[in-house]
Amino acid sequence: MAKQKVQHYSGIGGQAVLEGIMMKNGSMVAVGVRKPDRQIEVEIDEHHAVLENTVWTKLPFVRGFFVFLDSLILGIRSLNFSSSFYDEDDITSRSRKEEEKRKNKDKAVMAVTTVLSLVIAVFLFMILPYLLTSLLEGFLRNKSVLSLIEGLIRIAIFILYLVGISMMKDIRRLFQYHGAEHKCINCIERGKPLTVHYVMDSRRFHKRCGTSFLFLVMLVSVVLFFFIRVNSPFLRILFRILLIPVISGISYEIIRLAGRSSSTFVSILSAPGLWLQRITTREPDASMCEVAIAAVEAVFDWRAYLVREFGYDERELQEMDRG
């Protein structure tokens, strides 16, 4: 029986959606949803990233921005699919033509939502902290102190935003599915069979989480804006926008390293993001873990993974499953 306890990188990632989970493994994507009739529906599709197989998506410190953009697009698409089961209209009553119109409308809505989400995020987390800090320039002349205050305001806005949305009933349920997603990934990466028992027993925090990535974006921006300074207020705002690809690129490399390393330095670097996951994840129930398992199994052969990475054989897996 395998005795290794070190977490192994699996390459699988995901996201919580409305009453479900999206799981991605390479180019394969599965969205599992608990429908109103309590049955689990799983859609499997192939997803090709933005500028896939180009030099931009392979360059370290550059690829991160495109990965972030692609994650946003895929996330909104998955949310649209999951929400379609909870539309007020009866889906079965729609004609094929009406369904095609709805899909085209969804694509347009997804494009607008993606752009709008980016604009709001840039204003809320990049421009607003600068504008608030600029009000203190008449009282504080030290540029270094002002840069640190701006960074603290940015982090505070981010945390308050997470706390605020976590109070919403629907978001709390979404965060439970987020916890189920993490538990599934931790379960297989810790060498356990993907069953409800072992998934429920796994941790709901994961170093590769999007929450950790976004918090790293906040920290990296503090460092960059501390050293990169200009006098013109217009250029300050412009630089905060233009440096977003650089900030996300650096943050991506750090979170990528965190997913593959268990060193003390990486653990310290990951600690704030893991702490924030206490806000963005909740303990799921067994039915939510069932949905997450269905999504994982649609795109990932976890049995072959455990045999390859942890040295199990089929008999051992069957014994653990029964246990």
- Through-space distance between the first and last CA atoms of the chain, rounded to whole angstroms: 14
d(CA 6, CA 1): 15
Find where tokens 């946003």 sit: 72
Tell me the two tokens of residue 166: 């976590």
Q: Return the C-alpha torsion angle 251, 124, 105, 40, nearest 10.
A: 60
The pTM of the whole model exceeds 0.75 = yes
Whether 19 and 314 have beta carbons less than 8 Å apart is answered as no
d(CA 109, CA 105): 6
Enter the DSSP assignment of 62: T
- pLDDT (tens digit per residue) in 98-155: 655 666 666 676 677 778 888 899 999 999 999 999 999 888 888 899 999 999 999 9
d(CA 296, CA 299): 6
- pLDDT (tens digit per residue) in 300-320: 999 999 999 998 887 777 776
- pLDDT computed for residue 3 by the predictor: 46
Concatenated DSSP letters for 14-42? EEEETTEEEEEETTEEEEEEE-TTS-EEE
Question: In terms of C-beta density within 10 A (0-12 exposed, 13-18 middle, 19 or more buried), how is residue 38 classed?
Answer: exposed
Question: In terms of C-beta density within 10 A (0-12 exposed, 13-18 middle, 19 or more buried), how is residue 32 classed?
Answer: buried
User: What is the DSSP pairing of strand 40-46 with strand 28-34?
Assistant: antiparallel
137 contact partners, CB below 8 Å, separation of at least 6: 146
User: What is the DSSP pairing of strand 13-17 with strand 40-46?
Assistant: unpaired
- pLDDT computed for residue 94 by the predictor: 52
CB-hemisphere CA count at 13 Å for 309? 19
- pLDDT (tens digit per residue) in 217-272: 999 999 999 988 888 889 999 999 999 999 999 999 999 888 787 778 888 888 99
SS3 32: strand
- pLDDT (tens digit per residue) in 31-68: 999 999 999 999 999 988 777 777 777 788 888 888 88
